Structure 1
């Protein structure tokens, strides 16, 4: 069962801070923002490091695409672009950040904390894509 339903989900337009992240999604690459001054990784992208406050030392690193469910819920109410039931999860990446995303699965009630996930993509009409996750077969 796909989590997609008729209607498009709303996504923000890129700005000067988020444009590199959104551009990478066109190539199906997930970027994590990292501070060269203190080593802190953060998501979503911001203009300042949330650990040390540096505005100049932020760069990008490519995520592996692996993740683990940190918290999740099964949503049973329709939203634009999603057909219930679907899973919303907080996904912990080995790069040190948490992403709020969708776990696309035929068995939403079987998803639980600690489950291994792998990155997948939900295409958007303008060529960008949203990172979503699927249960890992490893």
Structure 2
């Protein structure tokens, strides 16, 4: 009798509405685009129908740098979803453009803290083919 290899757990899929579908398409394409207000240049995340700053509906999708600073982080030691076996980390990153994203950092646990560390976004294909935005430590020393 031969054993059948276990199927990789499916990545939980985001609920894609009309406002965030363009963002997820850009991630699948290997870039990150976020909504920008054409009136006041505010970066919107999460995306929506109007700018929360000036209430303009003149919004456009623009690429962002994918670089930012870790604001907060936590390590979960319990598995809640099969696609994310414990331990795994969750970080909050303020992008250079101002938006705050929540994701994972592809790095070993630090001896101290990740808060204040510079990171850059990568696009990681999961075993089921879904692409997730994740972060790595930005060690090349370049900052704009």
Size of the aligned set, in residue pairs, is 132
- In structure 1, what is the equivalent of residue 42 of structure 2? 40
RMSD, aligned CA: 2.0
What TM-score results when the alignment is normalised by the length of structure 1? Answer: 0.83
Between the aligned partners of 2:21 and 2:42, the Cα distance in structure 1 is 20
Once the two structures are TM-superposed, the CA of residue 120 in structure 1 deviates from its matched residue by 1.1
- In structure 2, what is the equivalent of residue 135 of structure 1? 137
Contact (CA 8 Å) 2:79, 2:85: kept in 1 or not?
yes
Contact (CA 8 Å) 1:25, 1:128: kept in 2 or not?
no
Moved segments of 4+, more than 3 Å: 108-111, 124-128
Computing the radius of gyration over CA atoms, which structure comes out larger, 1 or 2? Answer: 2
Q: Which has the higher contact order (CA 8 A, sep 6+)?
A: 1
What TM-score results when the alignment is normalised by the length of structure 2? Answer: 0.80
Unaligned residue ranges in structure 1 (runs of 5+): 1-5
- In structure 1, what is the equivalent of residue 73 of structure 2? 72
1:107 to 87, 109, 130: 109
Is the alpha carbon distance of 1:44 and 1:58 closer, same or farther for their aligned partners in structure 2, counting shifts above 3 Å? same
